[in-house]
């Protein structure tokens, strides 16, 4: 087999790249080790930046998102017994976020690719990348796929990044001393917008997926296990952290999914080697506090699509040569914002009273200064491309 671009991974990055390339007349084959059902059901992020929303609309895959997604024009920071709204519509006019599950984006992209005759191979085995410096090809399940370029979109644990020779990449990483317990519950949201809560008991986040399904997160110890958090304890702790302002009552319901997410950051530089280009979690991950993971993947793919179009249309290699440099500027901005949001809202060393007072002082500044609130707002909704 032969194609112009071999794409490893059928997550949002790989699927969107395949679709955007199709719109530019560039062929691709997507290889995914998981089943279609698994990929479409895998619950991940649900906050889409303005740029991500615009990208999906421009690519003609945003119809269901516009119909079912939940536009939000602000978030609430809750601490010290009071709630403080950060109004995106006032601070960054014309820019907002949309709550729409990552798995729904994946469903839309798969449907669009298959409707257009796209080649997506699910449940492929033994994927391996070869000859990255000259004439790249991918082998899988006893087959060989020749290509001009390989896009590694297979996540942090995929095969793409490890295919780069040792010593080429510089890795930056940070582990946080806690994790997030996340639950999905069949209950109407108790708030119209996301609530980020800082308490002495730890951080909590009230989010949502639809008018009838809510998403919640709790800061828990890094070594926490799911069996330690039965429904009663989970709801009790969510209530203790979220019902910290007068008049607010948290509605509870059936928990249909739960999981524990380690809090860590990772960046591999450069995001390319030879004719292999990494995108999304294959190159970088961020703690979920800033809601940047999926959105960074979309930003990478936009840059890579334009670079590949220039290469296949007129042979220009300059955009491809500068791919990593262009992406990393945004990646590091998102890394800083995610770190900042994480340190602003989580409980760290219980004995460090000095750090806690600094944290509260900065929260007071963000919620009282329009300049500080604007910095949060413009980073949260996503910087323009």
Are the C-beta atoms of 302 and 251 separated by less than 8 Å? no
User: Is-catalytic flag, 12?
Assistant: no
Catalytic choice (277, 288, 311, 323)? 288
Are the C-beta atoms of 296 and 334 separated by less than 8 Å? yes
Catalytic choice (79, 100, 176, 196)? 196
Catalytic choice (72, 73, 206, 346)? 72
Are the C-beta atoms of 145 and 137 separated by less than 8 Å? yes
Q: What is the 3-state secondary structure (H, E, C) of the chain?
A: CECCEEEECCCHHHHHHHHHHHHCCCCEEEECCCCHHHHHHCCCCCEECHHHHHHHHHCCCCHHHHHHCEEECEEEEEECCEEEEEEHHHHCCCCCEEECCHHHHHHHHHHHHHHCCCEEECCCCCCEEECCCCCCEEEECCEEEECCEEEECCCCCCCCHHHCCCCCCEEEEEEEEEEEEEEEEECCCCCCCCEEEEECCEEEEEEEEECCEEEEEEEEECCCCHHHCCHHHHHHHHHHHHCCCCCCCCCCCEEEEEEEEEEEEEEEECCEECCEEECHHHCEECCHHHCCHHHHHHHHHHHHHHHHHHHHHHCCCHHHHCHHHHHHHHHHHHHHHHHHHHHHHCCCCCCCHHHHHHHHHHHHHHHHCHHHHHHHHHHHHCCCC
In angstroms, what is the C-alpha Rg of the chain?
Answer: 21
User: Is-catalytic flag, 311?
Assistant: no
Catalytic choice (73, 292, 311, 346)? 292
User: Is-catalytic flag, 292?
Assistant: yes
Cα distance between residue 193 and residue 74, in whole Å: 7
Cα distance between residue 213 and residue 46, in whole Å: 12
User: Is-catalytic flag, 380?
Assistant: yes
Take residue 176 and report the two structure tokens written for it: 């946080």
Cα distance between residue 327 and residue 119, in whole Å: 27
**Residue 317 — φ and ψ, nearest 5°?**
-105, -10
Catalytically active residues are: 72, 196, 288, 292, 380
């Amino acid at each position: 087999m032969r194609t112009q671009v071999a794409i490893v991974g059928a997550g949002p990055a790989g699927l969107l790249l395949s679709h955007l390339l199709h719109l530019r007349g560039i062929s691709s084959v997507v290889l995914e080790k998981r089943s279609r059902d698994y990929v479409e059901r895998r619950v991940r992020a649900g906050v889409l930046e303005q740029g991500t929303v615009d990208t999906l609309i421009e690519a003609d895959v945003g119809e269901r998102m516009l119909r079912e997604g939940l536009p939000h024009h602000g978030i609430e920071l809750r601490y010290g017994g009071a709630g403080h709204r950060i109004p995106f519509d006032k601070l960054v006019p014309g820019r907002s976020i949309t709550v729409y599950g990552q798995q729904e984006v994946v469903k839309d992209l798969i449907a669009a690719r298959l409707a257009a005759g796209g080649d997506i191979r699910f449940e492929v085995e033994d994927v391996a990348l070869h000859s990255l410096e000259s004439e790249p090809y991918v082998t899988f399940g006893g087959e060989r796929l020749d290509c001009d370029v390989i896009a590694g979109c297979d996540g942090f644990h995929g095969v793409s990044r490890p295919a780069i020779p040792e010593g080429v990449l510089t890795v930056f990483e940070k582990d946080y001393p806690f994790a997030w317990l996340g639950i999905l519950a069949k209950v109407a949201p108790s708030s119209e917008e996301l609530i980020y809560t800082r308490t002495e008991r730890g951080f909590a986040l009230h989010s949502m997926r639809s008018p009838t399904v809510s998403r919640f997160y709790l800061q828990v110890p890094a070594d926490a296990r799911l069996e330690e958090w039965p429904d009663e304890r989970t709801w009790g702790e969510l209530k203790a952290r979220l019902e910290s302002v007068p008049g607010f009552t948290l509605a509870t319901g059936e928990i249909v999914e739960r999981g524990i997410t380690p809090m860590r950051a990772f960046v591999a530089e450069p995001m390319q080697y030879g004719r292999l280009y990494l995108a999304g979690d294959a190159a970088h991950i961020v703690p979920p506090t800033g809601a940047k993971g999926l959105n960074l993947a979309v930003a990478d793919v936009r840059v890579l699509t334009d670079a590949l179009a220039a290469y296949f249309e007129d042979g220009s290699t300059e955009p491809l040569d500068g791919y990593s440099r262009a992406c990393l500027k945004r990646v590091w901005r998102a890394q800083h914002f995610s770190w900042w949001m994480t340190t602003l809202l989580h409980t760290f060393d219980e004995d460090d009273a000095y750090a806690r007072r600094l944290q509260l002082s900065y929260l007071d500044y963000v919620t009282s200064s329009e300049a500080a609130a604007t910095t949060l707002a413009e980073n949260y909704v996503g910087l323009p491309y």
